[in-house]
Amino acid sequence: MVKKAKSIGRPIHERIYAVKQFIASNAPRTFSEIGRGKINQIAVLDKDRKGRKVTITNKKNTQKVKEILESKPTSPIRTVATEVGISVSSTERMKLSLGLKSYRMQRRQELKDTDYKVRKDACEKLLNKQKKCKSFRDWIYFSDECIFELAGHVNTYNCYFHASMNPHFTMEVSHKSGSLMVWCAISSFGLIGPIFLLETVTQQVYQDMIGNQFVPDLHARHSSLDRVFFQQDGAPAHTAKTTQDFLHDQFENRLIGKFLDFNWPHRIPDLTPPDFFLWGYLKDRVYEPQPQTLVDLKFDIIRECEALSVDTCKSVCSPLCGSDRKYQIFFSKKLPYIQMIQPDNQSDIIDYSEVLETLRIPLTGSIMQMKIIWEQQQIVCQKLIARFKDKEDDEGRSNAINAGITVELAKIYESRDLSSISLPFIEAFYCISFPGVHYDFNTKIYQKCNPFPGMFRLLELQNFEMLRIVIKIICGLIGGGEWSDNLEHPYFQSIISINGGNKLFSLFQRNDVDNKIRNVAAISLGRLFKAQELPRNMKQSIIDHLKSITSDADEWTRFLSRRAINILAQNEDNRTEIMKVFDPFIVSQDLRLPIVGNEETRKQIQQKKNFHCILLQEMFEKAEDNLLKRLVGTGIIEAFLYFFETQDLNMLTRDPVENFRRLRSFSKSQIDQIKKEKRYYPSIIRLFGSQYPEVIYEANLLIYSDFDTGADLAKDNQPNLLFEEISECGGIEILFDLFQRNLDKDSRNYAAKLLVVLFVNQEFPNAQLRKEIIEYWITPLINSNSDEQKTHIWSLNRLAMVVGNHAEILKGNFIAKALQALPEKAQQFITKIQLQTSNLANPKSGVKPKQQQQQQSSSSSSSQQTSAFNTTWKLSDFIKIKKIGRGRFGTVSSYQEIKTQRIVAIKECDYDTDELRSMMNREIEVMKDIIRIIRQSTHQSQFIHVVEPLGFFVNEDEEKAYLVMELCSGGDLRSYIKNMRKQGTEIGAKKCWEFVSSIITAVNQLHVNDIIHGDLKPENVLLTEDIKVKLADFGLSRKLQQGKEYMTHHGGTTFYLPPELLQIQSVQTDAEGRQLHQKRQQTKAADIWAIGIMLYELLAQHHPFIGNDDADLSELEVAHRIVTEEPSELPAHYPDSLRKLIKAMLSKAFD
């Protein structure tokens, strides 16, 4: 008798009752990714080795060797020989006599759990295509790039010279001898190529090469390309979105490669003809004899490619996916032509342990030995320079500092004879210490080791180039501590203790050094004496020098000299010296001084004005409001405007503009009057002609809000209120000139934004201005996910309000490309642009943008108008925009129908087996039935919560099926939850009640019509633009038979199934002992359980039975938890009524 396990039975109606109560009361209303661990596979592979038989006469020693190797099989032969007391060669012979071989442990590429199936599926797909079309493999063009070095290459791993004495043989290899990048495509029809790529292979270079050279050669060879398949590897330039779109335009869906129609899986070995045959074949011939110049190398490559016969190409390309014995021979024998061509990026790969070991070698021994050591150390320093010079790599610099590279270099500076320290030793330290993008590494360097003793010793160097780098390093190191909260500089005592202050001052006083060195020495002293009084012998000369370089042509010097003055002013004695003979109330007079005289006199006047502005800014730090109001009374506002209008822009710094901005709050009425007199904007606009980004930044702060207000107040078809005034003073030309100068990213952005708001309701004066400004706002939207997408979309919306801009906006199929590149939230803005430009895009329609918008809104929100189910569509009737999701049996992407410009969702599924065809056909019929049933049972104005199917079609080979559906632009609930987690936010109670109401209403719309969804989960809950819910994926949905409250369970997603469907059933037998198959019964309560899980995820942002640390749980373990455990508590700050409702939905009580 079989013991019956405890049965859950039919779940009681707590879940259904809770939902009914909620619906009756009309109450107001994610899922953590489960990753899989990686499995590292390291195996020892058999490797046949042949050894000659030798006679071992000493059985005792042989037995010892055997015992040691059996107990410790990984013991080195040298260790075994030492233990036995015999030579290594004798031990080797004994090992061979015992029948033992040496096996080298080899690293194998890591394979993930899914890789085996993906590889198998990829090969099966290609073989299925081969079965349907016997000539398929002949039409594949396999492509690849390869680098041909002029010097060739030598494998020294097994390169021996057998002789009685060491011949000390060497082979000379040229250093950076030059190379050629070669691209070829090979098929059964022969070779196309070689094509020489003379620059880095970027997306554009690759596309130009394919379009301008490869495709024309294909047309010359074949009358039509309809049968040609193109294969490529997974290089970044090949897999870029723009490249894939380009290739689809050329070859449609006949592409083999990463992310393409015939997927070439990740981590798959390179088994294409270029890899296992072509490159090795060519190199064997090209380098025999060795070419002497790049011209010879190029000629030899062309010659050998032309000599390659079609028959040879056909014999190489015919085998496919191991289906041919010849291919297996090719692969198993590993022909000598197999080459692993690696890109020349070794400068980016540094073994820091090797660098440290080299730097730690003492410079001792004979002259020759010391020279070798010195050269080795200089080489590793040059590697560090190549690794970090002019590169933004915070992580790399941090790793180098943590490894102790700067510590070892500082020790060399402190202990070595200065004549042995060359430029690379110093430049390596500078490149590592150079401030990163988000991190100042000078502080980290000091924390590892005090570098100042060695650094200040380097000030004795006589080489000015080296001295210039040393003083910059010292200045940077000191700057790393100036931002500390301590009143005294944290490095002050350690530097003063080694007489560092006097050494800096001595360097400053030297007459033989250039001004750059003296400037940095003065700045270093200013930064060091933070809140400390400068020594009397230094004070006046250092402060005077810092004053004189605040208007220096070098931006770095200007900024740091002003910063040094600010730091010194924290000490009252220093501040007194700085502010000496400065009267703020005569600044107005100074700013009005005419700039006349010879060049030197004019320069002095302008420097005086700039410096007074610096002192004025220093005064602001401690000035009271009354003093500032008195200052405004001296006419300083108008004086500043005169100063901006007359000062040489090359001499004008940030300080006066910043001072003017700070004084504006005390002179609003005065500025308003100046604006009325039209004397304000001409002076401010002129500042945009500066070459200094910091000046332009301040000028933008002064003017942008006024421009924006002028645009907002402009009535329909009226220009910006400031347009006429800015036009008259040449502002449009100045701003466009700033835009074209491309001074820096921010300055260009300021100019573009100001021009956009200035030309509201106004056409640009010329085609060039219109083209460049619109292109500036469009390009980031279709090429990358820019950090400033909102700004770009906002600006483009304003530009789209002007009809004259429409043609430029619509160039190059922009709408479709932008929808493909942008995240879902931004797509609604692009849709608005599409509506604004619809008259130009579809002039025959006669539909005005506003009318079209109303029609689209009506269609997407209510979905009440019955549209014919289209079965005549083809994929060529649509333009693909972007992939938006993946279901159980296919992928979903957004497309634009070319004829109507409507944006739809298309689900692409495999359709090449009877089972897949049956599943797809059934899902379509279920969706159409559900829509029909709901329409018949609801009021015409009621919102339908089911995604409407619009059409269905298959491709020519009937391998793929495409289900066309309405698009829900708000994404799905899973994305909504993920975005909250990513942004660190959570849903509010009010918003959650809205979701509760909308989801329950959607599911209730099915339940009142006796339909069970069967697979509810966040991925199948879609959101419209106004966050209304629509349900999708009805592959497991069923309509209950009349009089029944359940259906047979057909599967689902484990994480959202209730315990009664996950409970392990007992094994029942009939009278003859045969096992009886029990069918599980699924009721509406299963849908309600899934709603409870989803709402829990919406609040807690994780599954109720899976914590954030449980990513590795299997489905079986999850099912066990759902059946046996209680859900985790929801966050307590949510309302009790909301938490009780979700708890009731997750009820596991038994009848």
Tens digit of pLDDT for each residue in 634-645? 888 888 888 888
Alpha-carbon span 521 to 530, nearest angstrom:
15
Strand partners, 144: 184
Mean pLDDT along residues 178-200: 88
Is 427 in contact with 385 (CB distance < 8 Å)?
yes
Question: Between 488 and 483, whose confidence is greater?
Answer: 488
pLDDT higher than 60, residue 852? no
Query: Looking at domain 119-155+175-344, which of 3.30.420.10, 2.40.30.10, 3.40.50.300, 1.20.1250.20 is its CATH number?
Result: 3.30.420.10
pLDDT bin (cut points 50, 70, 90) of residue 671 is confident
- Class (C level, CATH) for 863-966: alpha beta
Compute φ and ψ for 832, nearest 5 degrees. Answer: -65, -40
Is 542 in contact with 564 (CB distance < 8 Å)?
no
Alpha-carbon span 252 to 874, nearest angstrom:
13
* Average model confidence (pLDDT) across the chain: 77
Which range has highest mean pLDDT (260-264, 978-982, 1067-1071)? Answer: 978-982
CA-nearest of 417, 331, 346 to 383 is 346
Mean pLDDT along residues 1034-1046: 76
Mean pLDDT along residues 127-146: 83
pLDDT bin (cut points 50, 70, 90) of residue 945 is confident
pLDDT at position 1060 is 84
pLDDT bin (cut points 50, 70, 90) of residue 851 is very low
Which range has highest mean pLDDT (404-418, 563-577, 714-728, 963-977)? Answer: 404-418
Alpha-carbon span 57 to 186, nearest angstrom:
59
* CA-to-CA separations, 431 to 401, 413, 575, in angstroms, rounded: 11, 16, 35
CA-nearest of 756, 751, 719, 709 to 734 is 751
pLDDT at position 102 is 72
pLDDT at position 1054 is 85
Which range has highest mean pLDDT (480-489, 603-612, 1054-1063)? Answer: 1054-1063
Element housing 432 (H / E): helix 423-433
Question: Between 186 and 796, whose confidence is greater?
Answer: 186
pLDDT at position 1008 is 83
Question: Between 914 and 519, whose confidence is greater?
Answer: 519
Binding residue positions: 907
Is 525 in contact with 501 (CB distance < 8 Å)?
yes
pLDDT higher than 80, residue 779? no
pLDDT tens readout for residues 301-335: 988 898 888 888 887 876 544 333 333 323 322 33
Question: Between 1149 and 204, whose confidence is greater?
Answer: 204
Alpha-carbon span 271 to 71, nearest angstrom:
41
pLDDT at position 244 is 87
pLDDT tens readout for residues 104-121: 655 555 556 666 667 777
Contacts of 366 (CB under 8 A, 6+ apart): none
Binding residue positions for ATP: 907
Mean pLDDT along residues 957-977: 87
Question: Between 113 and 226, whose confidence is greater?
Answer: 226
pLDDT tens readout for residues 502-533: 999 999 999 888 889 999 999 999 999 988 89
Compute φ and ψ for 248, nearest 5 degrees. Answer: -65, -35
Tally of CB atoms within 10 A around 384: 25
pLDDT at position 518 is 93
Strand partners, 1029: 1023
Contacts of 622 (CB under 8 A, 6+ apart): none
pLDDT higher than 90, residue 467? yes
pLDDT bin (cut points 50, 70, 90) of residue 184 is very high
Write b or e for each residue in 1044-1061: b if 16 or more Cβ atoms lie within 10 A of its Cβ, otherwise e: eebbebeebbebbbbbbb
pLDDT at position 473 is 92
Element housing 236 (H / E): helix 236-239
Contacts of 423 (CB under 8 A, 6+ apart): 463, 465, 466, 469
For the ranges 253-257, 667-671, 903-907, 935-939, the lowest mean pLDDT is seen at: 935-939
Alpha-carbon span 886 to 278, nearest angstrom:
38
Q: DSSP characters for 297-332?
A: HHHHHHHHHHHS-HHHHHHHHS--TT-SHHHHHHHH
Q: DSSP characters for 623-655?
A: --HHHHHHHHTTTHHHHHHHHHHHS-TTT--HH
pLDDT at position 823 is 57
Superfamily of domain 14-18+976-1027+1039-1145: Transferase(Phosphotransferase) domain 1 (1.10.510.10)
Domain boundaries, the chain: 14-18+976-1027+1039-1145, 43-106, 119-155+175-344, 345-449, 765-843, 863-966
Length of the chain: 1151
